[in-house]
Copies of this chain bind each other. A is one copy, B any other.
Amino acid sequence: MLHDPAQLDLMFQALADPARRQMVERLSRGPASVSQLAEPLAMSLSAVVQHLNVLEASGLVSTEKLGRVRTCRIEPKALRAAEHWINERRLAWERRLDRLGDFLAETKDENRGKPS
C-alpha cells in the first residue's frame, strides 16, 4: 500500500516544492501549529494551509486539531516509503555495476597469459 504509485506521486510531488520541504524540515524538529509553520515563510497563511493540505494528502504529515489550533507532525512511515523507493533503484543499479565488474574481472582471468 505504501508502494502504490499514486501515493508515491503525491509524496514526491509534495516534496518538490521548497516551501513544503521547509515545512517538513521544521516538523522534523518537532510538532508545530499552522502559524508556527507559516512564520518563516514569505506567503499568506492561506497559502500555507494549502501547502499543508498537500502534505497531509501525501501522508507525509498528519495533523490534529485541538480547540482552535491545528498541530502538525511528521509521519516517518511515509518518509521511509519515499526513501525506500529511491534506495531500491539505486541499489539495483549498483548491484548491476558490481556484477559487471565481476564479469569483466573474470573475462580478464580467462585471458590470463593469452597473447592478444
Q: Show the binding face of A for B, using Cβ within 8 Å.
A: 5, 8-9, 12-13, 15-18, 21, 24-25, 27-30, 74, 76, 79-80, 82-83, 85-90, 92-94, 96
Contacts and interface: CB of A to CB of B under 8 A. Distances in A.
Contacts of A13: 12-13, 16
10 contacts: A5-B21, A8-B18, A9-B16, A9-B18, A12-B13, A12-B15, A21-B85, A27-B93, A28-B93, A83-B83
A88 to B, nearest CB: 8
A89 B79 contact: yes
- Copies of this polypeptide in the complex: 2
Contact of A89 (B16, B28, B94): B28
Given A5-B18, A5-B21, A21-B5, A90 B83 contact: yes
Contacts of A25: 89
A51 B34 CA distance: 35
A78 B76 CA distance: 22
Contacts of A89: 24-25, 28, 74, 79
Nearest to A74: B93
